[in-house]
Structure 1
């Protein structure tokens, strides 16, 4: 049984950060006991995947085991008030490379639009399925379109997309959410048959960063993929951990 989040590769217990340390520990113990009890009723154990470093430190003492590192997680800090400030925080060589990427992408003449997911989920679903297919999966167009429609229905105006169009045809998109002081990347798709020069990072990094500044975000959560490429673009990398119950059925 999975405890905590099962999607998004970012897991942490949802306790109030204002709790005193002793009460926080007590709440975590109750949460662990509830997870173990639920797992026992189904004849299995439980584990916490993709725990952030702070969450792993808080939970590990209650289980008496060492968390295992599962993946790296990238977050790009957003200093100052605009994209130029973010760019200025990088080494000179990287600034030149990013300006070149942005110029080459702009020269392709694509129409870049910021819009609601509800207005483009079908096109985005097609591109998301194409990405899944390139990773060895079957044709999941219906499933990916349904997934994005559910997000669009549930999240409304909070589900934002930046997309590139060649005429009426969407050739790339990135879905992201603003929450708190962070902008969270959620899904991306690039048309493999119509790849624009350097399309990936202008759509999945630079355009969301510009919108993040407009929303007052101070960080862009970029996730677990292409870690080194994101590190070159200013990302700070932290670990995500797995923690399992070493004594399932042994009592809380």
Structure 2
């Protein structure tokens, strides 16, 4: 049995667990430090200790304000009130893999939820949430019996670096010839492409990001984005790869990625309207092709691209990877079992529409089977999901 406690910082033992690159960049010490914003009451990290060693970790926070809709629980769950809550897992990244030793995974993840519920109750807070869980973490939670994971409305994506060169990547995509044409048009645009340090251009990157988010209806403030990027530049500088596009010194676009283990983790990309809407597809250069070239140069397996713009990503070879979410109300899972099937159908119908005209039915059928098994409590009878390249 593990002993659970909450610690303020990450010690040497914790750093050792988080250094396992298989957990992913968004479950690394640099990212966890970068993702703790100033408007979060963060008592620390849930820590599980068994046989004298740290066998599990998870950030625990009580967000005071959230202007990112992708991290707003009452918008991600059906029929939930807008209320104060405790959050298990990182607050940014759209991917929460809870780092645990496999032999104690169910006990530890279940214990995290129970410990977080106790901490929430001591603060007069009823709700505990975990958002954007990986399948490994959702499996462990389902096995614990503490809560039933349900499908997240956001679907993760990943692109493999097939073979040993970009030619192999083109050959692996149904639209390989069209991609080559895209790249030729992009190469003709009169811009300067370079790698820069985020710390040297935080304000420029934040302003461009804000303009991009405004086009999608986001209300995130410039101050919030600037602080988020500043923290990233401070805590994750060793892992960052910032590719910029400029003309006469003016920042026209950027792509911010992180190298962790043998995967390139795509964090964000933005571009001014004049280049985003013209016939020169520089956005695809920044999002897909330049990062893929980096993968081949460094021997990386591929790019984690996150949950937006699914059709464009699937067309360029991206694979869908499910994310999950779970909650407790006063220590109990109150999501109705009979609601899991209609909720799953709703999410998958939305994803199917977002991927159109590309067909992803086989992948969605595998995801649906797992979601319904979580609801029935029969997860143990399922085969593993086909290898997605990321855990």
TM-score exceeds 0.5: yes
SS at the partner of 2:152? strand
The ranges of structure 1 where at least 4 consecutive aligned residues each deviate by more than 6 angstroms after the TM superposition are: none
1:162-196 deviation line (CA, Å, top 9, x unaligned): 11111211101010101111111111111124445
> Structure 2: any 5+ residue segments left out of the alignment?
1-85, 334-391
Q: Is the 8 A contact 1:163 1:170 kept in 2?
A: yes
Q: Is the 8 A contact 1:5 1:11 kept in 2?
A: yes
* Matches for 1:30-179 after TM superposition, within 5 Å: 30-43=111-124, 44-62=126-144, 63-91=146-174, 94-137=175-218, 140-179=221-260
Instruction: Label 1:67 to 1:191 Cα distance change in 2 as closer, same or farther (>3 A).
Output: same
RMSD: 2.1
Return the match for 2:294 from 200, 203, 211: 211
1:124-156 deviation line (CA, Å, top 9, x unaligned): 122111112222345833432332222112222
SS at the partner of 2:88? coil
Match of residue 22 from structure 2: none
Quote the offset at 1:24 in angstroms: 2.5
Q: Is the 8 A contact 1:132 1:140 kept in 2?
A: no
Instruction: Label 1:192 to 1:250 Cα distance change in 2 as closer, same or farther (>3 A).
Output: closer
Instruction: Label 1:248 to 1:159 Cα distance change in 2 as closer, same or farther (>3 A).
Output: same
Quote the offset at 1:76 in angstroms: 0.3
Match of residue 2 from structure 1: 87
- Determine which structure has greater relative contact order: mean sequence separation of CA pairs < 8 Å that are 6+ residues apart, divided by chain length: 1
Instruction: Label 1:194 to 1:71 Cα distance change in 2 as closer, same or farther (>3 A).
Output: closer
Quote the offset at 1:13 in angstroms: 1.2
* Separation of aligned partners in 2, 1:66 and 1:209: 33
Q: Count matched residues.
A: 244
Quote the offset at 1:119 in angstroms: 2.8
Return the match for 2:310 from 227, 232, 239: 227
* Separation of aligned partners in 1, 2:249 and 2:238: 23
> Structure 1: any 5+ residue segments left out of the alignment?
none
Quote the offset at 1:64 in angstroms: 4.5
* Separation of aligned partners in 1, 2:170 and 2:147: 44
1:79-116 deviation line (CA, Å, top 9, x unaligned): 2222222222112xx11111111111111121111222
Instruction: Label 1:169 to 1:240 Cα distance change in 2 as closer, same or farther (>3 A).
Output: same
